């Protein structure tokens, strides 16, 4: 489910409620996430306060003096801050009980998400250390980088921009959206992109992600922010999920294809 805009929307929602707040206890209701939740988490986080809520790619980092909780929402995860006594759903697997009677809950029906506890530098954790640049940081993600990292690669450009070692945060929705905005066909071999087209694509990715964050993310089915509200970017989607509908730019029909087994949407008229 969540790509960078949804994760950032979540981060912005939970940060003011978590920062400076003590975690009184940790409840693990089901440790069977992508990797089993470490038993050390409850022992070593309880009693500490959250000092920062950061994001790296699609990962959230909850820092405390005792260590860092690294969260990933997978396909179906969401975080919610609620009253500690509010009824718990069957997929609320992890719960941080906060001072003041509230709780942060991780809900994840498919359990593709992760909750990783580390007392070391989280940015050097194997899950994070090889991540590429943040797309919203112009100093980190720029046309020269994209150009260099795609040379010699025959993989479709859509697959390349979904590769977190090239750039983080772009998932299946925003890959199609960015390529449409940039006028680039998703199946184009990444290594054949010219420098100017790399520049257009970098701009498009940034523009799409920023607009999506401003709208609170995309809710297709079940994404909701920390307060349980949906995101409103779905109505701004230009091609994703719109196979057969008219392209907003030229009016021609949007085509649905399959790239690397993932649904892909583009306008054959606008994208070359």
CA nearest 6: which of 242, 243, 259, 215? 215
Residue (34 or 88) nearer to DNA, CB:
34
Closest contact distance (angstroms) between CB of 153 and DNA is 4
Task: Measure the CA–CA gap between 71 and 79, rounded to whole angstroms.
Answer: 10
Catalytic: which of 3, 6, 44, 95? 3
Residue (22 or 257) nearer to DNA, CB:
257
The CA-atom distances, in angstroms, between 240 and each of 199, 210, 255 are: 22, 17, 10
Q: Where are the alpha helices (DSSP H) in 25-141?
A: 40-45
Task: Measure the CA–CA gap between 272 and 267, rounded to whole angstroms.
Answer: 9
The backbone torsions φ and ψ at residue 108, rounded to the nearest 5 degrees and listed phi first, read -160, 90
Closest contact distance (angstroms) between CB of 46 and DNA is 27
Q: Contact positions toward DNA, by CB under 7 A?
A: 1-3, 6, 32, 34, 57-58, 72, 74-76, 90-91, 109-112, 127, 152-155, 159, 162, 164, 171-173, 191, 217-223, 260-263
Active site residue 262: yes
Active site residue 105: no
Catalytic: which of 12, 88, 153, 262? 262
The DSSP code sequence of 212-227 is HHHTT-B-SSS---TT
CA nearest 27: which of 100, 93, 71? 93
Closest contact distance (angstroms) between CB of 39 and DNA is 19
Closest contact distance (angstroms) between CB of 208 and DNA is 13
Residue (21 or 76) nearer to DNA, CB:
76
Active site residue 39: no
Catalytic sites, residue numbers: 2-3, 58, 262
């Amino acid at each position: 489910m969540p790509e960078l805009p949804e994760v950032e929307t979540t981060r912005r929602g939970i940060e003011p409620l978590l920062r400076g707040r003590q975690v009184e206890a940790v409840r693990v209701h089901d440790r069977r996430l992508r990797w089993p939740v470490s038993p050390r988490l409850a022992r070593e986080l309880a009693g500490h306060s959250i000092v920062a809520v950061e994001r790296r790619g699609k990962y959230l980092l909850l820092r405390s003096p005792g260590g860092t909780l690294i969260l990933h929402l997978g396909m179906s995860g969401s975080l919610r801050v609620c009253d500690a006594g509010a009824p718990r759903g069957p997929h609320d697997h992890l719960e941080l009980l906060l001072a003041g009677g509230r709780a942060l809950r991780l809900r994840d029906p498919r359990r593709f998400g992760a909750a990783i506890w580390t007392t070391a530098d989280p940015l050097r954790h194997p899950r994070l250390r090889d991540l590429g640049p943040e797309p919203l940081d112009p100093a980190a993600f720029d046309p020269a980088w994209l150009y260099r990292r795609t040379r010699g690669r025959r993989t479709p450009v859509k697959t390349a921009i979904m590769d977190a070692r090239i750039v983080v945060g772009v998932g299946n929705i925003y890959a199609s959206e960015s390529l449409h905005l940039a006028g680039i066909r998703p199946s184009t071999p990444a290594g054949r992109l010219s420098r100017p087209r790399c520049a257009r694509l970098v701009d498009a990715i940034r523009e799409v992600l920023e607009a999506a964050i401003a709208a609170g993310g995309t809710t297709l089915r079940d994404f909701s922010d920390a307060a349980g509200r949906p995101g409103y970017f779905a109505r701004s989607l230009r091609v994703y999920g719109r196979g057969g509908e008219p392209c907003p730019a030229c009016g021609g029909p949007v085509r649905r294809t399959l790239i690397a087994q993932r649904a892909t949407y583009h306008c054959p008229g606008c994208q070359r």
